Amino acid sequence: MPVDRSSLIPALTNVATRLRIDSLTSTSEAGSGHPTSCCSAADLVAALFFAEMRFDPKDPHNVDSDRFILSKGHAAPLLYAAWAESGAFDRSELLKLRTLGSDLEGHPTPRLPFVDVATGSLGQGICAGIGCALNARRIKSDYRTFVLLGDGESAEGSVWEAADVAAMDGLDNLCGLTDVNALGQSRATMWQHDMEQFARRWRAFGWHAIVIDGHDLNAILDAYAEARQTKGQPTMILARTIKGKGVSWVEGKDGWHGKAFKKGDELDRALAELDKQFVPAAGGVDLARQIPKPAAVARPAVTPKPIAPPTYKLGEEVATREAYGAAIAKLATADPRVVALDADVKNSTFSDKFEKVAPERFFENFIAEQVMIGASMGLAARGAIPFPSTFACFLSRAYDFIRMAAISGVGIKMAGSHAGVSIGEDGPSQMALEDLAMCRAEPNITVLYPSDGVSAERLVALAAYHPGPAYIRTSRPKTPVIYSNEETFAVGGLKVLRESANDVATVIGAGITVFEALKAYDQLKTAGMPIRVIDLYSVSPVDREGLVAAGRATGGRLITVEDHYAAGGIGDAVAEAVADAGLTVHRLAVREIPRSGKPDELLDRFGISAAHIADAVRALAGRR
């Protein structure tokens, strides 16, 4: 920046003081918040925003702007104060903090244009930062990504998953800042102010670690410059700070976490101290006017090419997990925004097909599902279309990330393979039986469940361009292709595979259970009991009208069958959809902890085979 340090340091001192004042006043007005956590990081943020980062406050989505992620999201008032200081919005808005009508929430969300991902569930920001940094490589941009962590959140395992992956990827465009203020919510943090403990760990994970006094602006600026010059590895700046810095009677004191200053004497006393910290020698330097904007780079609009259609033969046996791999490989050649992420199971999920055609957009996270989903969030926030995939059961390890992706509304397209007891001999630890419930619980996650190769390819393509997060459930066993290559699908749709005017019940399956329902149809038809068979490939949202129509046409007898636990899956989805039409649902599902065995044995043992479906139809129709 064109300001020498003799005038820059006083100006930054005043900015940091204003950030502290704004953090205190906004939280006191709200009656809640974390002002002391804001005060410890104010110098780091002041120097970052007004002497290091390149961004346009009026155009925060600029693709070449440096990115800032506040991983310690409880310090949100500091983030909002910095953006107000930069001119992004009027400072008076800060007094609406935490009110229903304001987007300045207690923890940041992308309702604000300058927030890439929701934070505040600690340990996630650094993972998203990896995605932002990888995206810079994808679009060949020189923007840098900065992530502010707390020392307390550094106990989270996801932080160290991120440390491993970022170092493995050599992300020298990623700079972390750890606010080591030594105090957590309930007690002192693990290592308090032992800075060497932090430095040793980050260096051991392959990062360039810099230890500084987090209130020395010269040292902070030097650290930013050193990080910018470091090549081949990410940097972690470890800043020794004081919680509550600037307000002498709370500095370094326990018991002030998440506690706003009371309006009146308490707040007035704190503000009086801060007012005395302004430096008259700042000389009227307006740092907000001197924020360097990113260089204007002409980037042509991305126009995806047509996606090659499926090329299967009716009756051909193909696993939907294999069709998933073929589908994302086709997307890779059609759209440069599509990326794939793996957790060391690419030869089982078949995402290795993507790697073969677009290795530069394939990101290996090894066995670290949290950072895989977190990095996907960062990639999606910056314009990529990420497909992270692993065994469906292992996504449960990353469920908090999935939850935060839903809050962020980012378009991650998750795929979980090896779902249900139908995987066979590997046993219950490998069987996802709660994944549909997990994803259906989030109101904006689209849940798709293909049954054959054609539907898998079509649904993957739909997921890629459908707004928001999506989950695609794939199966291990090979299943026959039942749809023509020209068949079309829709989010929120279903397919009626068998129907007649004399159907005695409707059986609704998805994935592997569609084929059990078709077997039951053949058995019952021979006995003069035709049934309607529905493939509920869109589990969330569901086709309410189609389900109600089928239920009414078949005497109100609706049977769901799913390779999933009873809670939260297909049965619940259908029951919720048809309840207000006066219809009830008979549910076949896995109702106990399963065990190893052959797929067909397990489907029968746990009550979701064709035989069990036929028995349920006979019982409901009164024809035993």
Up-side HSE of residue 415: CA atoms within 13 Å toward CB? 34
Strands 446-448 and 538-540 come out as antiparallel
How many CA atoms within 13 Å lie on the side-chain side of 455?
Answer: 30
State the greatest distance between any 2 C-alpha atoms of the chain, in Å, as a whole number: 95
What SS3 string covers 564-619? EECCCCHHHHHHHHHHHHCCCEEEEEECCCCCCCCHHHHHHHCCCCHHHHHHHHHH
- List, in sequence order, every residue forming a beta bridge with 509; answer none if it has no partner: 535
Nearest to 435 by CA among 462, 490, 477, 475: 475
- The β-bridge relationship of strands 478-480 and 317-319 is antiparallel
With b for 16 or more beta-carbon neighbours within 10 A and e for fewer, the 545-559 pattern comes to ebbbebbeebebbbb
Q: Annotated catalytic, 369?
A: yes
Contacts 24+ apart (CB under 8 A), 542-549: 542/492, 542/494, 542/573, 542/574, 542/577, 543/492, 543/493, 543/494, 543/577, 544/577, 544/578, 546/493, 546/494, 546/496, 547/494, 547/508, 547/574, 547/577, 547/578, 548/577, 548/578, 548/581, 548/583
Task: Out of 322, 369, 457, 516, pick the active-site residue.
Answer: 369
Q: Which value, in Å, is the radius of gyration of the alpha carbons in the chain?
A: 28
Host H or E run for residue 378: helix 369-381
Site of tokens 């949100």: 76
**Helices 5-30, 217-229: crossing angle, 10 deg rounding:** 100
Check whether the bond before 541 is cis (ω within 30° of 0).
yes
Q: Which residues are catalytic?
A: 369
